[in-house]
Amino acid sequence: MNNVLVCIKRVVDSTGEVVITDDGQNVDGRYAGFTVSAHEEAAVELAVQISAATGGTGALFTLGDESAEEQLRGALAMGCTAATQVRADSSAYGPSDVAREIAAVVRDHEANGSSHDLILLGNDAADSGDFQVGIRLAYELGRPVVNGASTVTIKDGHAVAGVKGPEGHEIYRVPLPAVVTVLEGGVEPRYPSVPGRMKAKKVEIEVREPAGAPTGTKRVRLTLPPPQPSQVQILGTGPEAAAAVVDLFEKLGVLR
């Protein structure tokens, strides 16, 4: 039986145009909407698969303000059954602050008789891209950590994680309890079913105060990259441009 905790974060949907708030401190999500990172969606799917395969539980963690409930409910609808929210302004929390808050919840749950023997996180968040919360958490808890796994299964009390490394497909086998950060691509996150959504609405979310004050993110300001001058040459409009395109193929020598 494996009890998995999966950590997710509400982030601005940055697939469209990115707008920065007037104070230069955050990405403005008023128009873009919010989501969780693709890596975390994959982590939620893995948590649901692992807990189902072992008869354990898939629980969620997030640090964020009230609105982050939307992302928790979304992940509950995918099949997680419990959720803890540390209610705080996530933009004030740096990677080590977040790791400390997760560790505090894990220790507390453990003291109350419910342990999390596998903790999954996204490899990096789509907004801050810090690449380090999972590793810092592992050091906080004194657990081994595998980074950037796209597959995770459990075998004989070990997490077996597959990582696309520089030398090909690398396998790690670490004893539980462990921490694994997840990269998208190894599993297909499921689409929540209607009964899943109904169930998710009823789950009572454990809301907590932060365990400590944040030490900050060290951010001075955000800016947008300067636009690059365009040097595009328009070959034409519609099917009439086909000859010009094939001329170019010939010039580049790419026709078979």
Partner 1 sequence: MIVVLVETDVTGAVEVSRETITFARGLSASGGGVPIDAVVIGDLPCDPTALAEQLAAYGVRDVHHASGDAFSAYGGAAWAAAVQSVRDTTGAVVVTAAGTPRGGEVLAHVAARTGVAMAANVIAFGGLAPFTVTRQVVGGSAWEEMVLDERPAIFTVAGHAVAAEEAPSAGAGHLVEFQPEVEAADLVARVTSTAEPEPDLSGSLKGARVVVGAGRGAGSADGFGELLDLVGMLDGASLGVSRVVTSLGWRPHHEQVGQTGSRVSPDLYLACGISGAIQHWAGMASSKTIVAINTDEEAPMVAKAHYAVIGDMHEILPAINEEIRKRKS
Q: Which positions from 77 through 106 interact with ligand FAD, judged by CB under 6 A?
A: none
Report the Cα 184 to chain-centroid distance in Å. 9
Tokens coding 172: 């790690």
Contact 62, 10 (CB under 8 A): yes
**Amino acid letter for position 121:** L
The nearest distance, CB 237 to ligand FAD, in angstroms, is: 12
Measured from the CB of residue 254, what is the shortest distance to partner 1 in angstroms? 5
92, 104, 135, 176: residue in contact with partner 1 (rule CB under 8 A): 135
Cβ–Cβ under 8 Å, residues 159 and 146: yes
Of 184, 203, 164, nearest in space to 121 by CA: 184
Residue 196 as a binder of partner 1 (CB under 8 A): the answer is no
Q: Note whether 183 binds ligand FAD by CB under 6 A.
A: no
**Residue 235 binding target from ligand FAD, partner 1, none, CB below 5 to 8 Å by type:** partner 1
Among 4, 126, 141, 180, binds ligand FAD (CB under 6 A): 126
Which residues inside 17-56 make contact with partner 1, applying CB under 8 A? 18, 20, 27, 38-39
d(CA 100, CA 206): 18
d(CA 115, CA 109) in angstroms, rounded, equals: 6
Q: Which does 222 bind (CB under 5 to 8 A by kind): ligand FAD, partner 1, none?
A: partner 1
Total of residues contacting ligand FAD (CB under 6 A): 5
Residue 229 CA: distances (Å) to CA of 104, 226, 232: 49, 9, 9
Near partner 1 by CB under 8 A: residue from 70, 108, 110, 170: 170
